[in-house]
Amino acid sequence: MPEPIPIFLPRSKSIVIRCLIVHYLRTGKLLPVFEHDPNDIKVVYKILQTIDSHRKTSTKKKSLIDVEDCGAAYRFFMAILATIPGKWMLVGTPGLLRRPILPLVKFLQKHGANIEKVEQGWYITGKELQFDDFEIDTKDTSQYLSALMLAQQRECGAFFRNPYLNMTKSILERPNIDASFALKLADWSAAVFWIANALLIQNARYLLKDLHFDCLQGDAEIVKWFAKFGILLNENKQGIEVKHLQQIDINKQHIDFTNTPDIAILMATLAVCYPFELTMTGLENLNLKESNRLDIMIEELKKITSVKKHSEESITIYKRIGELPKKYCFDSYNDHRFVMAWSLFKNFGNVDITNTDCIKKSYPGFVYDKLL
Residue 58 and residue 166 in one domain: yes
How many domains does the chain divide into? Answer: 2
Q: Which of 183, 207, 229 is the last residue of a domain?
A: 183
Q: Helix crossing, 143-152 with 163-173: angle to 10°?
A: 10
Residue 163 and residue 201 in one domain: no
Note the pTM of the prediction, 2 decimals: 0.94
Residue 275 preceded by cis peptide, ω within 30: yes
| Position 137 in a domain | yes
Residue 64 and residue 134 in one domain: yes
Residue 347 and residue 238 in one domain: yes
| Position 5 in a domain | no
| Position 6 in a domain | no
| Position 156 in a domain | yes
Residue 209 and residue 263 in one domain: yes
- Domain containing 142 equals 12-183
Residue 71 and residue 214 in one domain: no
Q: What is the CATH classification number for the domain harbouring 337?
A: 3.65.10.10
Residue 27 and residue 158 in one domain: yes
Residue 289 and residue 230 in one domain: yes
Q: Any residues with CB less than 8 A from the CB of 367 and at least 6 apart, and which?
A: none
Residue 57 and residue 192 in one domain: no
| pLDDT tens per residue across all 372 residues of the chain | 679 999 999 999 999 999 999 999 999 999 999 999 999 999 999 999 999 999 888 777 899 999 999 999 999 999 999 999 999 999 999 999 999 999 999 999 999 999 999 999 999 999 999 888 899 999 999 999 999 999 999 987 776 789 999 999 999 999 888 777 777 789 999 999 999 999 999 899 999 999 999 888 988 989 999 999 999 999 999 999 999 988 999 999 999 999 999 999 999 999 999 999 999 999 999 998 998 999 999 999 999 999 999 999 999 999 999 899 889 899 999 999 999 999 999 999 999 999 999 999 999 999 876 554
| Position 320 in a domain | yes
Residue 249 and residue 173 in one domain: no
Q: What is the largest CA-CA distance in the chain?
A: 66
| Position 3 in a domain | no
Phi, psi angles (nearest 5°) of residue 203: 65, 20
User: How remote is the C-alpha of 48 from its chain's centroid?
Assistant: 20
Residue 170 and residue 284 in one domain: no
Residue 155 and residue 20 in one domain: yes
| Position 1 in a domain | no
Q: Which of 183, 211, 241 is the last residue of a domain?
A: 183
Q: Which of 183, 202, 225 is the last residue of a domain?
A: 183
- 364 with 10: CB under 8 angstroms? yes
| Position 275 in a domain | yes
